[in-house]
Amino acid sequence: MNLSELQNVLREQVKEVAKNNFQIEIEAVAAEVPPKTELGDLAFPVAFELVKRIKQATGEKQNPREIAGQLKSALEENEMVERVEVAGAGYLNVFFNRAKFLGENIKGRGARRNIDSENMQKVCVEHTSVNPNKAAHIGHVRNAVLGDSFVRILRASGKKVEIQYYIDNTGVQVADVAIGFIYLEKMNLDEIIALDARLSAEGKSFDYFCWDLYTKVGRTYETDEDLKAKRAEVLHLVEEGNNPTAVIADYISTRNVQCIVDTMERFGIRYDLLPRESEILHLHFWQKAFDEMKQRGVIRFESEGKNAGCWVMPFEAHSGNDEHEADKILVRSNGTVTYTGKDIAYQMWKLGLLGLDFNYKLFHKYDDGKAIWVSTEKSGDKNAPEFGASETVYNVIDTRQSYPQEVVKKGVAAIFPDMGEAASVHLSYEMVALSPAAAEELGFRISDEDKQKSFIEMSGRKGLGVKADDLLNRLEENALEEVEKRHSDLSSEEKKSTAHQIAVGALRYFLLKFTKNTVIVFDFKEALSFEGETGCFCQYSAVRANSIFRKLEENGLEKAFETIFDSPSEISEMLSNENEIWSLITLTSRLPEAISQSVAATEPAILAKYTFGLAKAFNLFYHNHKILTEENRFKRAVLIAAADLTRKTLTSALETLGIEVPERM
């Protein structure tokens, strides 16, 4: 029996006693963790609730402590429960039988539930969404790390997950870089390809070149009206396809996606499918969605008013005088579809509601053979797996897109009331901004006005941002320096891979410790730190825990387990005086709870905080107890078991955050 099962059993018992003794039905019995181990392992504030309900029913005011006292004995019947105390104003505090609980945890350890992958429902997480016209910056990495960690969290909670990175390969951003190549660099496709080859020969990357070119185009637009005038024309050509400009744009976007996928792979972030906007257009996804909407009568054609000539989706305005104020235009008066319209069609496809599919071809194979597929207009690969048709779709998109996302969600739900709004989840998060100091450190001149601000938004257009690869390189260099200092005996390959694991851990944890709707004001010192609340701290705890087992004699772990199972009374007595060891053991049992809370709140930071807390608790334990030299055999067994539970739990929690545990560090 694990913690959550035990918790549920006790909840039911509380519910039943409340019903029998007081004729009160409590739908959801709240359970909480007492603030200190001394106060118990689980607390039910149920007496307060009962007092309230009794007062409502009879007008009598009861004492919560007395009520709690009447519930106490029923819970004590459970064999996992050592005793129950009434504490504070009327808390019902449950103390577990420590030896039994430890035994159950050891047994349950490593026992993975057999998951029936055939019948598992599939969910989709779409993240990253970097425009394929430049290198990814740290803000994009926040998106991808949030998305990727959430994927891992969903998988840990038993879901099958499909990961998509939507490629806007026909938008203005790609068109702008195409304009840069064609009109500023005066290059044709062959020359671009040659440049690309030259760059990689020099160890430079195409996405970095595009980063600078994109900035240059943006700057030139400010003074060169002629160039700016090319935009509409180029964009149109790119959207249309089958022309030399579109071929150049396709080369640009494909190469940038390759670079971005490589960058993300360094962070341990992978994808299953890259659906591209060009296919949404050319395979007429919109037309199909449009027909469906017309048929179902959820959109209407406006013949007069300010939206005359447009197809709109009616929305209730939050308030206000004009009832059409919030209507969302999906088709413009010139007949073209808006971004929101395309998004609704794509969302319909993700949920299996469109009745059309992409064709697929192989895009890339990771080192271990795992494939990324990409959508294609032409006949696809017959061996491609099935994509789309997910039960729930999580879109990881920054909070500024909340309104359009709301429109997509409500729009799809309006077309398919059966599916409902719950199927579309906007996993929204705040941006990563730069402190004025960080922007200056990057070599940007900051206006006096901006200097007054607490943060400056990053801008791909201005080229203002910390590039993902640059930051990771810097972290790896710093980590390598530390590894050299500590473990000069390791081979250079081992040192490098350790430094890489530490660097990734540092950055992922840094991005995950903030809750989603907190603006991260990027600060180099903080992001580059390996001390305090960092990924490195968590990794270090796990590494130290593992090193105990390298030195433990063979069979040491098994012997410890035997001792625990064979001598429950001695173990219980010993543990009853060891609150600190005991609290570490109970903390390890709460990982599934942290994961399900993260899912419910779509908030990976909850798991990150849990992981840090566990690492901290282990460090305290490690500091206060000498495991290998402990002479009391019962205590030694418990110390070994606790350390083992911790390293397993910590490793698993970190893996769910996308952070590896190095061999040594």
Under rule CB under 7 A, which residues in 62-81 are in contact with RNA? Answer: 64
Query: Does 134 help bind RNA (rule: CB under 7 A)?
Result: no
Query: Does 660 help bind RNA (rule: CB under 7 A)?
Result: no
Query: Does 45 help bind RNA (rule: CB under 7 A)?
Result: yes
Q: How far is the CB of 498 from RNA (least distance, A)?
A: 7
* Among residues 453, 562, 566, 633, the one that binds RNA under rule CB under 7 A: 453
Q: In this structure, what token pair is assigned to residue 223?
A: 């003074």
Alpha-carbon distance of 458 to 623, in angstroms, equals 43
Alpha-carbon distance of 437 to 392, in angstroms, equals 41
Query: Does 457 help bind RNA (rule: CB under 7 A)?
Result: yes
With respect to RNA, which residue has the nearer C-beta, 35 or 369? 35
Q: Contacts with RNA in 548-567 (CB under 7 A)?
A: 548, 551
Query: Does 310 help bind RNA (rule: CB under 7 A)?
Result: yes
Range in contact with RNA (rule: CB under 7 A) among 72-80, 98-106, 257-265, 449-457: 449-457
Alpha-carbon distance of 618 to 545, in angstroms, equals 8
Q: How far is the CB of 459 from RNA (least distance, A)?
A: 11
Range in contact with RNA (rule: CB under 7 A) among 117-125, 364-372, 398-406, 582-590: 398-406
* Among residues 196, 265, 391, 430, the one that binds RNA under rule CB under 7 A: 430
Query: Does 332 help bind RNA (rule: CB under 7 A)?
Result: yes
Q: 377: buried, middle or exposed (CB in 10 Å: 19+, 13-18, 0-12)?
A: middle
- Are 275 and 143 spatial neighbours (Cβ–Cβ below 8 Å)? no
Alpha-carbon distance of 275 to 358, in angstroms, equals 8
Alpha-carbon distance of 364 to 369, in angstroms, equals 9
Query: What long-range pairs does 307-313 form, CB within 8 A, spacing at least 24?
Result: 308/333, 309/333, 313/407, 313/411, 313/414
- Helix, strand or coil, per DSSP, at residue 426: strand
Q: How far is the CB of 381 from RNA (least distance, A)?
A: 28
| Strands, sheet with 311-313, edge to edge from the N-terminal-most edge strand | 300-301, 311-313, 328-331
Measured between alpha carbons, how far apart are the two ends of the chain, in Å?
A: 36
Alpha-carbon distance of 277 to 283, in angstroms, equals 10
Residue 613: CB atoms within 10 A of its CB come to 15
* Among residues 59, 203, 297, 320, the one that binds RNA under rule CB under 7 A: 320
Query: Does 625 help bind RNA (rule: CB under 7 A)?
Result: yes
Q: Residues 6 or more apart from 36 whose CB is under 8 A from it?
A: none
Query: Does 454 help bind RNA (rule: CB under 7 A)?
Result: yes
Range in contact with RNA (rule: CB under 7 A) among 67-75, 195-203, 533-541, 571-579: 533-541
* Among residues 537, 561, 582, 634, the one that binds RNA under rule CB under 7 A: 537
Query: Does 48 help bind RNA (rule: CB under 7 A)?
Result: yes
Q: Contacts with RNA in 334-363 (CB under 7 A)?
A: 334, 336, 338-340
Q: How far is the CB of 207 from RNA (least distance, A)?
A: 19
Query: Does 83 help bind RNA (rule: CB under 7 A)?
Result: no
Q: Contacts with RNA in 208-267 (CB under 7 A)?
A: 235
Alpha-carbon distance of 616 to 584, in angstroms, equals 10
Site for RNA (CB under 7 A): how many residues?
100
Query: Does 616 help bind RNA (rule: CB under 7 A)?
Result: yes
**R_g over Cα of the chain:** 29
With respect to RNA, which residue has the nearer C-beta, 387 or 455? 455
Query: Does 49 help bind RNA (rule: CB under 7 A)?
Result: yes
- Helix, strand or coil, per DSSP, at residue 267: coil
Q: How far is the CB of 440 from RNA (least distance, A)?
A: 17
- Are 471 and 560 spatial neighbours (Cβ–Cβ below 8 Å)? no
Query: Does 479 help bind RNA (rule: CB under 7 A)?
Result: yes
* Among residues 26, 172, 389, 464, the one that binds RNA under rule CB under 7 A: 172
Query: Does 303 help bind RNA (rule: CB under 7 A)?
Result: no
Q: In this structure, what token pair is assigned to residue 312?
A: 């709109």
Q: How far is the CB of 594 from RNA (least distance, A)?
A: 9
Q: Residues 6 or more apart from 221 whose CB is under 8 A from it?
A: 227, 228
With respect to RNA, which residue has the nearer C-beta, 275 or 384? 275
Residue type, 233: E
β-strand pairing of 371-376 with 273-274: parallel
* Among residues 520, 560, 591, 595, the one that binds RNA under rule CB under 7 A: 520
Residue type, 276: R
